[in-house]
Amino acid sequence: NEYTYKMACPAGLFYDASNKRCDIRENIVACGGNPTQPAVAPLPVRDAPAVPVAPIPVQHSDNFCVGKPEGEHAVGCAGFYYSCQNGYTYKMACPSGLYYDAPNKRCDIRENIVACGKLPQPVISPITSLPVRDVPTVIPVTPVPVKHSEKFCTGKADGEHSAGCNNFYYSCQNEYTYKMACPAGLFYDASNKRCDMRENIVTCGGNPT
């Protein structure tokens, strides 16, 4: 449509008009090279320059940028976009076969662009699991006294005493016996003086590591 696009070859390459591609100058006749040498493989499309070197103004009748902020603006899944500068509208074209990716502000193949139908990657929150030993080991606040016929604490020092691999233990205070219960599913660990899961208690056959 009589618009001029100035396209740039990748750094170090020159345009070979006879083969319609960018190449090293040794392979281009117009640069004094010998075209019989092996040609450099063309770069993939993604390495092509994303936009023309200079912006291409559209007709003055285009009021796209009126009231819009400075910068680039997409128009959906299209091979061009608008650049707004000081209220002027410039229509910028992507290289052939590429489309404008607004979130990343670059031209890309349509398979990589959400606006062209690519599904966004789901965000998965990591699940943090607590280690086994972090299970609450709360001991009841109020001791549960046993019958007066219970003589467990007679002659024993004050403190907690294990009754083997059980979900209870004895608390001795001035030779009075109090039977203390662990929360449901837990057993008394005499070595650590707390209730815990039985697989963490040596006397229950567990491995505390």
What confidence category does residue 92 fall into, taking pLDDT thresholds of 50, 70 and 90? confident
Of residues 60 and 189, more confidently modeled: 189
Q: Give the separation between CA 172 and CA 158, rounded to whole angstroms.
A: 5
pLDDT of residue 1 exceeding 70, the answer is no
State residue 116's pLDDT score.
92
Residues comprising the chain, all counted = 209
Longest dimension (CA), the chain: 114
Domain residue limits, the chain: 1-35, 44-119, 138-204
State residue 204's pLDDT score.
93
pLDDT of residue 100 exceeding 60, the answer is yes
Question: Is this prediction's pTM over 0.95?
Answer: no
**Alpha-carbon torsion angle 111, 113, 115, 119, nearest 10:** 70
| φ/ψ (deg, to 5) at 22 | -90, 140
CATH topology identical between 44-119 and 138-204? yes
CATH number for the domain whose boundaries are 44-119: 2.170.140
CATH architecture for the domain at 138-204: Beta Complex (2.170)
Q: Write the DSSP assignment of 8-57 as a string of letters.
A: -PPTT-EEETTTTEEE-GGG-GGGT--TTSPPPPPPPGGGS-SS-SS-EE
